[in-house]
Amino acid sequence: MKAELINPFLESARIVIEQVANVRPTTGQLGIKDVKFVEKYIWIQIGMTGQMEGDIVFGLHEEVALKVVSAMMGGFSITEMDDIGKSAISELSNMISGNASTMLFNQGVRVDITPPKLLHSAHAAGFNAQKALTIPLIMEGIGELDIQVLIA
């Protein structure tokens, strides 16, 4: 995996989060780590096919997800992750991945994305721990959104 392939996802995430949640995220440290699903997190998995094969996984703590959804809904306080909240957080990851795939296309890399798959628990994920490029996006007053790229 080339580190530069994560840049479109990072740039797209910054743009989309600023547009829909009115927060300008900053970038944490790029690293390679074992992706392990933990409880009290919401995971959104988007598959990629074409010249890049694999998954993009967005992970955020349930409390952070509630704050992101609240920000997306204009500050309306969300206290539990209901169907509308799950739809909103899934659409956020879909928008980020869709914009990133367009950026990749403009760089000559053809990819397609799958619809987002929301996983609300480690057990439901059915996902084996594996190494991924990961970048946390820090959203002031909200928390962190981890972008994990598992692409060959």
Rounded CA gap, 42 and 78, in Å?
A: 15
Percent of the chain predicted with pLDDT > 70: 89
CA atoms in the 13 A half-sphere facing the CB of 133: 17
Segment 106-139, tens digit of pLDDT:
999 999 999 999 987 655 555 566 777 888 999 9
Give the β-pairing of 54-61 and 143-151. Answer: antiparallel
Q: Is the pTM of this model over 0.85?
A: yes
Segment 39-52, tens digit of pLDDT:
788 989 999 999 98
**Amino acid 92: pLDDT:** 95
CA distances from 78 to 19, 71, 93 (A): 19, 9, 19
pLDDT at 37 over 80: no
